[in-house]
Amino acid sequence: MDVCVFRSRDGKVETQLCRVENFCRGLGQWDALSSGVCKDLAGQAFRQSAVLFKDKISFKGPGGGGNRAHQDATAYAPEKLARRHMTLVLAIDATLPETGPMQFARGWHTKGVLPNKGGVIGEGSIEQGDFESVHLQRGDMVLFDSHTPSRSEKNASTTLSQRLAFLTYNAASEGYLHEAYYEEKARVMREKQHSGSGLAPSSSSCVLRRVTCCIALRGDDAFAKDASSSRSRHI
């Protein structure tokens, strides 16, 4: 899924690629990675077999915005789908202080779902000093629980991008929910657009698209997207 947003810079409107989702299955090395070593690592964290729940690449280009403090669990429809998730973050680019690296609140994953509004954790729920930045080199991995609070600052660099892949798993005992998650996400997005609280479909700002992409985690950097083979539709 390509999600593009419009933002203004010096009075100009431009479109930025924010993320690509639902791309691993049938896509060569990404398929092998998500169903191999990453799945095994998530399974070790669960202490039982794991299955892929969702897959995403986040693109934070120069000037790209950050994320307010949140817990991923609140975005995964836990009342309908899996109750707990493990996410492996794979660094495609190094995360530097100026590019807005992820920050985690150590130890807070044991405290359940924190008070939040629309997923954003309420001010005062966590002390600012509890968040620690995680600096990664290309090819590094980080695993975290979906109840771990995280946030990030904007990318203050004018030249550097920060691309991260997120492979999220649930325990196999809760079922294979990958398709159910994306069906639920599409339903929620349609409801937001129909209610006027989301981005208008006519703006091309919210597009579901099946893409073919390849990103090298080590060695020469490469990103290729075969748009001609993708089928897109507005939702």
Three-state SS string over 167-188 comes to EEEEEHHHCCCHHHHHHHHHHH
Rounded to the nearest angstrom, the gap between the alpha carbon of residue 210 and the centroid of all alpha carbons in its chain is: 16
pLDDT tens digit sequence for 58-79: 999 998 889 999 999 988 877 7
pLDDT score at 193: 81
- What is the rounded CA–CA span in Å between residue 131 and residue 147? 14
What is the residue extent of each domain of the chain?
2-234
Instruction: Confirm if 169 and 86 have CB atoms less than 8 A apart.
Output: yes
Question: What global pTM score does this model have?
Answer: 0.79
The stretches in the chain having pLDDT less than 70 are 1-14, 196-235
pLDDT score at 124: 81
Instruction: Confirm if 182 and 52 have CB atoms less than 8 A apart.
Output: no
pLDDT score at 12: 66
pLDDT score at 9: 54
Pairing of strands 12-21, 2-9: antiparallel
For domain 2-234, the CATH architecture is: Sandwich (2.60)
pLDDT score at 17: 81
Q: Residue type for 220, please?
A: D
pLDDT tens digit sequence for 200-221: 332 222 233 333 333 333 333 4
pLDDT score at 6: 43
